[in-house]
């Protein structure tokens, strides 16, 4: 949030201002597929049959949807039915017994929902890892997302330099870089890490591509996931990423909440900000105009 706008961080965390009501729809859905994957991975052994894992996943999904879905978040019953079908399609594809990525993730998972911490130059980072896989070479850390659209990639990594220089506003990709640094370094401090292990990090979008097809009895929803590894980006842009971390960390700890560069921040972030209608910086700019 600080990378998006220092003032937004000020309102949201430092002052703990109550923002206008917002739907918990996608937050709940994230909880559902995270809880499903965690439950499946924790219950799976390396030699479990793929069909057994798949059946377990669909059963766990049904249970977690029932536990976490709030009908009041939906515009209509039809909306809720569609969203359930879409999320179930994502879980179904991920744990497809015929080559689904989730089968391998479940079989080789050694830890789920683990808090990790690391420190560089007196600046600490921490975060919760969704899944840690044991590989032939070491560890592969996974962060599950709805999709990977617009995330940091080898093609867009150069934008991190622009954000650092104040010439561009790329908070989501900066956030991806922060997560990569936290998880790659943080996992090295866990008991399951051994000296010399290769550590990798990837985002995985469960609903990266979805499709909707009408049928005589209603409709079918299908989904396809996609992985985006950012390990090499972290290695190639190490100095830039840690400079961004230092700037954000030092800004937060010194309570530097002035939104600079405001022209870029207002153009890219104000329209989606929960605090826009009360923000003195934005309102002052409107008056000046």
Q: Is 19 a residue whose pLDDT tops 80?
A: no
- pLDDT score at 287: 58
Which range is least confidently modeled, 64-73, 165-174, 218-227, 241-250? Answer: 64-73
**What's the Cα-to-Cα distance from 265 to each of 21, 81, 251, rounded to whole Å?**
23, 38, 16
- pLDDT score at 17: 86
Joined together, the tokens standing for residue 128 give: 């919760």
* Residue of 78 and 41 predicted with greater confidence: 41
Rounded-to-integer distance, Cα 73 and Cα 103, Å: 31
- pLDDT score at 235: 98
Which range is least confidently modeled, 15-24, 32-41, 175-184? Answer: 15-24
* Residue of 114 and 79 predicted with greater confidence: 114
Q: Is 20 a residue whose pLDDT tops 80?
A: no
Rounded-to-integer distance, Cα 206 and Cα 52, Å: 20
Which range is least confidently modeled, 89-98, 160-169, 190-199, 266-275? Answer: 266-275
Residues 207-239: tens digit of each pLDDT: 999 998 888 888 899 999 999 999 999 999 999
Domain residue limits, the chain: 6-288
- pLDDT score at 139: 98
Conformation bin of residue 212: beta by default, left when phi > 0, alpha when psi is -120 to 50:
beta
Q: Is 95 a residue whose pLDDT tops 70?
A: yes
Place of tokens 């401090």: 189
Joined together, the tokens standing for residue 205 give: 């979008």
- pLDDT score at 155: 96
Residues 182-208: tens digit of each pLDDT: 999 999 999 999 999 999 999 999 999
């Amino acid at each position: 949030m600080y990378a998006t706008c220092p003032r937004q961080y000020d309102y949201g965390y430092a002052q703990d201002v109550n923002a206008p009501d917002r739907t918990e729809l996608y937050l709940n859905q994230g909880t559902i597929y995270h809880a499903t994957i965690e439950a499946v991975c924790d219950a799976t052994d390396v030699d479990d049959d793929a069909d057994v894992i798949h059946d377990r996943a669909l059963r766990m999904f049904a249970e977690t949807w029932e536990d976490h879905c709030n009908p009041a978040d939906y515009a209509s019953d039809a909306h809720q039915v569609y969203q359930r079908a879409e999320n179930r399609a994502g879980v179904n594809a991920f744990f497809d017994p015929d080559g689904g990525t989730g089968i391998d993730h479940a079989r080789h998972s050694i830890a789920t929902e683990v808090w990790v911490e690391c420190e560089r130059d007196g600046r600490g980072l921490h975060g919760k890892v969704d899944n840690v896989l044991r590989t032939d070479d070491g560890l592969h850390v996974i962060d599950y997302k709805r999709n990977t659209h617009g995330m940091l990639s080898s093609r867009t990594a150069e934008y991190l330099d622009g954000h650092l220089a104040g010439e561009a506003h790329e908070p989501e990709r900066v956030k991806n870089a922060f997560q990569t640094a936290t998880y790659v370094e943080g996992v090295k401090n866990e008991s399951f890490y051994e000296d010399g292990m290769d550590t990798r990090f990837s985002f995985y979008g469960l609903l990266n591509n979805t499709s909707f097809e009408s049928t005589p009895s209603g409709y079918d929803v299908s989904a396809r996931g996609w992985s985006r590894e950012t390990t090499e980006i972290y290695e190639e842009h190490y100095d830039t990423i840690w400079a961004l971390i230092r700037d954000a960390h030092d800004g937060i700890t010194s309570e530097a909440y002035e939104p600079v560069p405001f022209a870029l921040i207002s153009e890219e972030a104000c329209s989606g900000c929960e605090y826009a209608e009360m923000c003195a910086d934005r309102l002052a700019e409107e008056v000046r105009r």
